[in-house]
């Protein structure tokens, strides 16, 4: 591991390090993660370094955002490798708390964000966004960064976080960073590790389906028909279930049938042991 990365595990140590930088007049960017880092996360760190003097990353597999039948116990964990990757990308501090540090005995508060948490992944994963909103609120208040960076791959999550930061007057600028893709278009995700080689070869169909919907919308066709076709294409390509393919307003996430304002096409579908999500932007044009 490069020597410049410090690892702390308590909120008190995190606050002490950030205060030390602040006292020197340095600005701080924050990259919350659940570890199993890939190029997408490292891009967040690099963009953070362009926008601030120091970057802090958290590595915490947050139990409250996993449903009872989800992959909490098998979620990939590789802390030593994550620390090496963060050091290599120029991150100065890794915050890796245990579950007891984040949720001590007696913990009883949940942050829920109405509106943007509903529908899409909010329907398929009940309670997921309350878990995300709660942990991100805690992390932002623990670190109090100038900037916090999140990947656009989780577009609905980004909308939830923007809303809570605004509503709760959290003094951090929330920055969305474009999705990093493999050469064949597959969005980078820690969950791609669950794909067998055969399923990995099928995975590009998800991005292709989003692009087909975008092309149809630009031709003036309706979202409902295009999304229906995209779901059928995904099943034909070997996905075994499609949770949703939908077109939403990019900012409010309100349903869209015909392009007017900037929109987002969002999809979630199941392939082998993995649930893949992806989204792209589309504008009238
Ligand atoms: O996107 C993630 O990795 C997680 O949802 C986050 C934002 C780190 C909260 O646990």
The confidence score (pLDDT) of residue 79 equals: 97
What's the CA dihedral at 187, 141, 112, 110 to 10 degrees?
Answer: 120
Beta-carbon contacts of residue 147 (< 8 Å; ≥ 6 apart): 27, 28, 29, 30, 48, 51, 52, 172, 173, 174, 175
CB 226 within 8 A of CB 213: yes
| Burial readout 154-189 (b: 16 or more C-beta within 10 A, e: otherwise) | bbbbbbbbbbbbeeeebebebbbbebbbbeeebbbb
Residue 106 and residue 12 in one domain: yes
Mean pLDDT of 135-143: 99
Ligand 1 near 176 CB (within 6 A): no
Taking the C-alpha atoms of residue 251 and residue 259, their distance in angstroms, rounded to an integer, is 14
Under the banding of pLDDT at 50, 70 and 90, the label for residue 90 is very high
Q: Are residues 133 and 198 in the same domain?
A: no
Residues 106 and 217 grouped into a single domain: no
- Flag whether pLDDT at 199 surpasses 70: yes
| 184 domain residue, yes or no | no
177-194 confidence digits (pLDDT tens): 999 999 999 999 999 999
Q: Name the residue with the closest Cα to ligand 1, atom 5.
A: 132
Residues 206 and 172 in one domain: no
Q: CATH number, domain at 30?
A: 3.40.50.620
Q: How far apart are the CA of 34 and the centre of ligand 1, in A?
A: 6
**Domain C-terminal end among 155, 177, 199:** 177
Clarify whether residues 10 and 119 are in a common domain.
yes
Instruction: Specify whether the CB–CB gap between 228 and 257 falls below 8 A.
Output: no
Judge whether residue 149 has pLDDT over 70: yes
* Closest Cα to atom 6 of ligand 1: 33
Give the distance, in angstroms, between the CA of residue 282 and the centroid of all CA atoms in the same chain: 20
Determine which one of 38, 41, 228, 240 is catalytic.
Answer: 41
Asked whether the beta carbons of 72 and 95 are under 8 A apart, the reply is: no
Residues 202 and 91 in one domain: no
**CB atoms closer than 10 angstroms to residue 7:** 17
Residue pLDDT, tens place only, 226-236: 999 999 999 99
| Residues 212, 258, 264, 117, CA torsion sign | negative
Domain-located, residue 1? no
So what's the pLDDT on residue 2?
Answer: 42
Which tokens in the block code for residue 123?
A: 């329907």
The rounded mean pLDDT for the chain is: 97
Q: Quick check: CB of 62 below 6 Å from ligand 1?
A: yes
| Domain membership of residue 70 as a residue range | 6-177
Is the same domain home to 127 and 154?
A: yes
Which among 185, 224, 180 is positioned nearest to 202, based on CA atoms?
185
Say if residue 1's pLDDT is above 90: no
Cβ of residue 263 lying under 6 Å from some atom of ligand 1? no
Domains contained in the chain, number: 2
- Chain centroid, CA 271 distance in Å: 19
41 catalytic, yes or no?
Answer: yes
> How many A from CA of 240 to the centre of ligand 1?
26
User: Does residue 216 form part of some domain?
Assistant: yes
Predicted pLDDT at 3: 52
């Amino acid at each position: 591991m490069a020597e410049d990365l410090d690892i702390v595990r308590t909120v008190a140590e995190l606050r002490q390090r950030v205060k030390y930088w602040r006292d020197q007049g340095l600005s701080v960017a924050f990259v919350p993660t659940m570890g199993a880092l890939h190029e997408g996360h490292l891009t967040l760190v690099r963009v953070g370094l362009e926008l601030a003097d120091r970057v802090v990353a958290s590595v915490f597999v947050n139990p409250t955002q996993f449903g009872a039948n989800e992959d909490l116990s098998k979620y990939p964990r590789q802390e030593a490798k994550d620390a090496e990757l963060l050091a290599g990308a120029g991150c100065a501090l890794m915050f890796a708390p245990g579950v007891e540090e984040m949720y001590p005995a007696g913990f009883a508060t949940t942050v829920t964000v109405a509106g943007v948490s509903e529908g899409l992944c909010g329907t398929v994963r009940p309670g997921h966004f309350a878990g995300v909103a709660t942990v991100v609120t805690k992390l932002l208040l623990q670190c109090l960064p100038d900037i916090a960076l999140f990947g656009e791959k989780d577009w609905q999550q980004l909308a939830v976080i923007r809303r809570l930061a605004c509503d709760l007057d959290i003094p951090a600028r929330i920055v969305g960073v474009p999705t990093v893709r493999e050469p064949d278009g597959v969005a980078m995700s820690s969950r791609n590790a669950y794909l067998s080689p055969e399923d990995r070869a099928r995975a590009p169909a998800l991005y292709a389906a989003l692009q087909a919907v975008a092309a149809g919308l630009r031709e003036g066709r309706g979202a409902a028909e295009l999304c229906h076709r995209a779901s059928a294409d995904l099943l034909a390509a070997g996905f075994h279930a499609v949770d949703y393919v939908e077109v939403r307003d990019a900012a409010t996430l309100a349903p869209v049938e015909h392009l007017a304002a900037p929109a987002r096409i969002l999809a979630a579908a199941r392939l082998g042991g993995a649930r893949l999500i992806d989204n792209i932007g589309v504008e009238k044009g």
